[in-house]
Amino acid sequence: MRATLWADTEVRIHPAFPVLCAAMLLTARGTQLGAMLAVLLLHELGHVLAALALVVAVLATSRPAVSDQPYSPDSVAANGSRALAQVLARQGVEVRHVTTVSDAVRAATPGTTLLVAPAPLLGDDQAAALAQVPADLVLAQPGATLLDKATDGTVALDVTPSGGVRDPRCDVPAARAAGAVTLDATLAVTGPAAVGCWPAGEGVALAQVRSGGRTVTAVGDPAWLANSSITEQGNAALTLHLLGGHARLVWLTPDPLDASTGGGVSTGGSVLPPWAGVVAAWAVLCILVAAVWRARRLGPVMAEELPVVVPAAETTRGRGRLYRRARSRGHAAAALRAAAADRMAGRLGVPRNADAATLTDAVVRATGRPGEDVGALLYGPPPADDAALAALARRLDDLESEVHRQ
C-alpha cells in the first residue's frame, strides 16, 4: 500500500512562481545579462514568452507535491501522514490542510474536526485561539498551554511517561474500537470531566473532555498519525474514529514562522513589520529604474574581424603531447639524438649521410671523450623513464657545446 502511495505524485504550482519569474527577469536587467534580455524582449518577445512558458511547464511537472514536514498530510516520509489523509479522503472526509493558526480558526466551524499536529513552537495567544474553536478538537502531542486551555485544566502532561501494550479500559468509542495499542501514556487526568484511556501508572495515553457541544481529545503520543506506524495494532481504527467523526477535517501543521492568532485583523502570516511590503515595492521600483538606466549602451558594439587563431607551434605541441601520452621515450630520444647529431655533423664537416662510426670518431676527436661514451650517448638504448630522457637531453647539450667550442 505504501509503495503505491509513494509512487503517486501530484502537480501543484505555487501561486508565487510566475511573479518570481518576472522579478528575476526584471532584476537581471542591470547586468549584461539584463541588457541581453532587454534586447531579446524588444526583438523576440514571442520567443522569450514561449521559452518562459516551457521553463514553467518543465519546473511544474518535474516538482512532486510532497513536503517533508512531520505529520503533514502531504508528506510521504516515515513521520508523515499522507497514508492517513488518503484513507480519510477515500472514506468521504474532506481533508483541508492549513499551516497557519488563523486559517485553522477560520476553517474550524461547528460540525468539523480540527486536528492540531505536534507544534512545539505554538505561542500562548495561538494556543488560546485554537482552544476556543467551536469544532471538535483532536490534539496530537499538545504543548502544556494548549492542553490546559483546551481542556479547561482537566488534563495535564505527565512527567513520567511509560508504555507497553494494554487495553483501553474506558468507554470512549474510538478507544474501544481500537483495542490494545502501545501508545505512550504521557497525559494525566486531573479533573472529573475528563476521561482517560490506556492508563499506565499515573498517566493515560488518551484523554477526552466533552464541553459545550464539542469534544476535545488529546493523545500524548503522535505515533498513531505517522505513515510508519499507522497500520500497527489499533492505530488505524483510532484515527478513523477520532478524525472521521465529521465530514470535514481541518488539519493544522503550524508553520514555525507563523504568528497569526486568527483574532482581529489578519497580519498576513508575517513576522515582518507592516511597512516592509511598501519599502520592498519602492526597492523594486528603484531596481527597475536602475535596470532601464544600465540597459541601453551608447551605440552598437564595434566588432573586429580578427584573423584566425592558429598558433604556428600547434603541431609541434601536439606531437610533444602524443609522445608524452604514449610514453614513447624511444621516439623522443631518437629525435633529440638525431637533431644533435645533425648539428654536430654540420659543425664538424661530416656529411649528412655518413654512418654512425664516422660521426662518433669525429666527435671523439673533437671532444677527447671516450668513444664508447659518445657512442652510448648518440646511439645508445632508449631511456627508461622521463627523468632519464631529460638527463639524456642535457648530456647531449653538454656534448654539443664541447663540439662547438672547438
Instruction: Enumerate binding residues for other proteins (CB under 8 A).
Output: 274-275, 277-279, 281-282, 285-286, 289-290, 292-293, 295-296, 298-304, 306-324, 331-333, 335-336, 338-340, 342, 352, 386-387, 389-390, 393-394, 397
Residue 5 CA from chain centroid, whole number? 22
Tell me whether residue 291 is exposed, middle or buried, using C-beta atoms within 10 angstroms of its C-beta: 0 to 12, 13 to 18, 19 or more. Answer: buried
Please state, in angstroms and rounded to a whole number, the distance separating the CA atoms of residues 230 and 2: 11
**Is the sign of the CA dihedral 58, 59, 61, 62 positive or negative?**
positive
Measured distance CA(374)–CA(388) in Å, rounded: 16
SS3 state of residue 66: coil
**Minimum CB–partner distance for residue 77 and other proteins (Å):** 40
End-to-end CA distance of the chain: 95
Q: What is the smallest separation between the CB atom of 106 and other proteins, expressed in angstroms?
A: 25
For the CB of residue 398, give the shortest distance to other proteins in the complex, in Å: 11
CA distance 405 to 25: 73
* Residue 213 neighbours by CB under 8 Å, 6+ apart: 110, 134
Say how far apart CA 176 and CA 238 lie, in whole Å.
9
Q: Would you say 78 or 272 has its CB closer to other proteins?
A: 272
Q: Which residue has the cell 476553517?
A: 107
Min dist. Cβ of residue 312 to other proteins (A): 4
Tell me the three cell numbers of residue 51: 521559452
Cβ distance to other proteins smaller for residue 64 or 320: 320
Which lies closer to other proteins via its Cβ, residue 158 or residue 400?
A: 400
Supply the minimum distance, in Å, between the C-beta of residue 264 and other proteins: 20
Contact call for residues 12 and 62 (beta carbons, < 8 A): no
Q: Report in angstroms how near the CB of residue 388 gets to other proteins at its nearest.
A: 9
- CB nearer to other proteins: give 111 or 320: 320
Write down the least CB distance from residue 324 to other proteins, Å: 4
What CA–CA distance (Å, rounded) separates 216 from 242? Answer: 10
CB of 384 to other proteins, least distance (A): 12
In the complex with other proteins, the residue whose CB is nearer, 84 or 340, is 340
Distance in angstroms (rounded) separating the CA atoms of residues 128 and 150: 8
Q: How far is the CB of 277 from other proteins (least distance, A)?
A: 8
SS3 15: coil
By C-beta, is 96 or 331 nearer to other proteins?
A: 331
CB of 331 to other proteins, least distance (A): 7
Closer CB to other proteins, 1 or 310, in the complex: 310
Short-list 141, 238, 128, 131, CA closest to 180: 238
CA distance 140 to 155: 14
Instruction: Please say which residue, 57 or 280, places its beta carbon nearer to other proteins.
Output: 280
β-bridge partners, 215:
210
Residue 130 C-alpha cell reads as 485554537
Nearer to other proteins, 16 or 310 (CB): 310
Q: Which is nearer to other proteins, 163 or 380 (CB)?
A: 380
* CA proximity to 329, closest of 377, 393, 403: 393
